[in-house]
């Protein structure tokens, strides 16, 4: 029985040395972290967890093993790093170029000169004729003041001054009710009261809303038309918090809309909202776009692209070279002796297929660019005393190949 027991122990030791055993079978079970690391090749190079156990070890691969795993190397370099930030926006009329037409007095719509939504209007163009008893009374007061001024002897300076003040007040009242200077002058020149007075467009633009029909009674302050000058439009979209550092007032953007595929329309950031949407963690950004041909329509959806420069000489590596574990970011650095050591790095911003490295690497280092998951698996197996089938590395300890006499002796023990 003693011989059988000794034989089983020898077989277990040989199995562990060949890398075919499990962590429980390993003769290194129960060692401290320092003893484990010394047994695995000397030194504490590698990643450890909070309990001090080595989780990843330096790995040495032969050329054949590198080809088998598909390992490719790259160099840590400095370069200009850019990225494109993409979001979806909504086209709106620019608020400073929107105007409502509202009467200042109660009245009735005698005639509509602009009778449908969507019409283009010019500044000063007649929109409607409004009859109002107050407007008629104001015109009569204007003509009365005009006659009084004409009847006063010029030598009566005080009386003439008061009469002129009354005339000026009558003109201001009509002007305050949006009656144009041309219409007021026409009343004075003809000496006749007009039953209706015309409200005109305050801007060049498009009728976005028409809320009036002919014959309708309207009250002071009621919106009759909403007009907008659409030669410029706003495109507003949401950006994530981490992208705000790359977008400032004046930053260039280009716009795409489904109606004109392949056409890039340039614009510039005109406003960044001062507050963040807390549930979505986004911030609204406004882009102003020229729209001389009026192709961009309010209500359209647009895709907005911002080309951001992360840095002109930043340290970068391929994104595929970084192993993200959830707690840290790792790359495998090829050392001068050919071993691959896991290095923890701090990442910055991503630009295309490359990513900025803030610390943990230096320019010129050689790192694993592909198959890093397989290298990581081998490194973790190394940290537990095992290895992948067919992979025996110097860093994991020497492999003991049993001689024929050893095998025969082991078989003899098993037979006994």
Residues 10 and 42 in one domain: no
> What range does the domain containing 407 cover?
1-18+400-416
* CA distances in angstroms from 122 to 87, 106, 206, 211, 343, listed in the order given: 35, 25, 9, 19, 68
pTM value > 0.85: no
Backbone angles phi, psi at 370, to 5 degrees: -145, 165
- pLDDT, tens digit, 9 for 90 and up, residues 41-55: 333 345 544 444 346
For residue 345, tell me if it sits in a domain.
yes
Q: Which of 177, 198, 228 is the last residue of a domain?
A: 228
> Residue 132 pLDDT more than 90?
yes
- pLDDT, tens digit, 9 for 90 and up, residues 269-292: 999 999 999 999 999 999 999 999
- pLDDT, tens digit, 9 for 90 and up, residues 11-23: 333 333 334 333 3
Task: Quote the pLDDT of residue 277.
Answer: 92
| Strand 366-370 with 107-112, pairing | unpaired
Residues 350 and 270 in one domain: no
> Residue 69 pLDDT more than 50?
yes
Residues 336 and 306 in one domain: no
For residue 319, tell me if it sits in a domain.
yes
Q: What is the mean pLDDT of residues 295-318?
A: 90
Q: How many domains does the chain have?
A: 4
- pLDDT, tens digit, 9 for 90 and up, residues 141-195: 999 999 999 999 888 889 999 999 999 999 999 999 988 899 999 999 999 999 9
Residue in this structure with the two tokens 């963690």, named with its chain if needed: 281
Task: Quote the pLDDT of residue 178.
Answer: 87
Residues 168 and 120 in one domain: yes
Q: What is the mean pLDDT of residues 369-386?
A: 70
- pLDDT, tens digit, 9 for 90 and up, residues 207-244: 999 999 999 999 999 999 999 999 999 999 999 998 88
Nearest partner of 83 among 273, 233, 259, 239, judged by Cα:
239
* CA distances in angstroms from 204 to 119, 125, 177, 228, 290, listed in the order given: 11, 9, 20, 8, 16
> Residue 309 pLDDT more than 90?
no
Average pLDDT, the chain: 80
């Amino acid at each position: 029985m003693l011989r059988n027991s000794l034989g089983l122990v020898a077989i277990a030791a040989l199995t562990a040395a060949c890398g075919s055993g499990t962590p429980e079978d390993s003769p290194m079970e129960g060692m401290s972290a320092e003893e484990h690391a010394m047994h695995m090749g000397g030194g504490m190079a590698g990643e450890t967890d909070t309990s001090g156990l080595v989780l990843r070890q330096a790995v040495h691969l032969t050329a054949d093993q590198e080809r088998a795993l598909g390992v490719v190397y790259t160099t840590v370099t400095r370069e200009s790093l850019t990225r494109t930030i993409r979001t979806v926006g909504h086209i709106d009329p620019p608020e400073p170029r929107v105007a409502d037409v509202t009467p200042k007095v109660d009245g009735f719509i005698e005639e509509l000169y602009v009778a449908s939504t969507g019409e283009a209007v010019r500044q000063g163009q007649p929109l409607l004729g409004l009859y109002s008893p107050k407007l008629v009374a104001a015109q009569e007061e204007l003509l009365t003041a005009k006659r009084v001024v004409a009847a006063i002897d010029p030598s009566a300076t005080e009386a003439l001054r008061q009469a002129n003040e009354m005339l000026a007040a009558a003109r201001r009242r009509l002007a305050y009710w949006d009656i144009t200077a041309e219409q007021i002058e026409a009343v004075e020149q003809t000496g006749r009261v007009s039953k209706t007075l015309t409200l005109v467009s305050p801007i060049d633009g498009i009728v976005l809303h028409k809320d009036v029909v002919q014959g309708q009674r309207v009250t002071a302050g009621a919106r009759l038309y909403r007009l907008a000058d659409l030669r410029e439009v706003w495109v507003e979209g949401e950006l994530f918090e981490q992208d705000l550092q790359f977008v400032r007032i004046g930053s260039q953007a280009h716009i795409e809309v489904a109606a004109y595929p392949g056409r890039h329309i340039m614009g510039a950031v005109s406003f960044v909202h001062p507050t963040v949407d807390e549930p979505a963690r986004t911030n609204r950004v406004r882009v102003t776009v020229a729209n001389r041909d009026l192709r961009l329509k309010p209500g359209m959806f647009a895709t907005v692209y911002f080309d951001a420069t992360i840095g002109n000489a930043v340290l970068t590596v391929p994104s595929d070279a970084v192993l993200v574990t959830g707690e840290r970011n790792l790359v495998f650095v090829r050392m001068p002796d050919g071993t691959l050591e896991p290095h923890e790095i701090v990442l910055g911003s991503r630009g295309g297929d490359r990513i900025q490295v803030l610390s943990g690497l230096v320019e010129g280092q050689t790192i694993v660019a592909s198959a890093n998951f397989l290298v990581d698996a081998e490194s973790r197996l190394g940290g537990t005393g095992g290895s992948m089938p067919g992979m025996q590395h110097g860093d994991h300890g020497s492999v003991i190949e049993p001689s024929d006499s050893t095998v025969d002796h082991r078989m003899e023990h098993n037979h006994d």
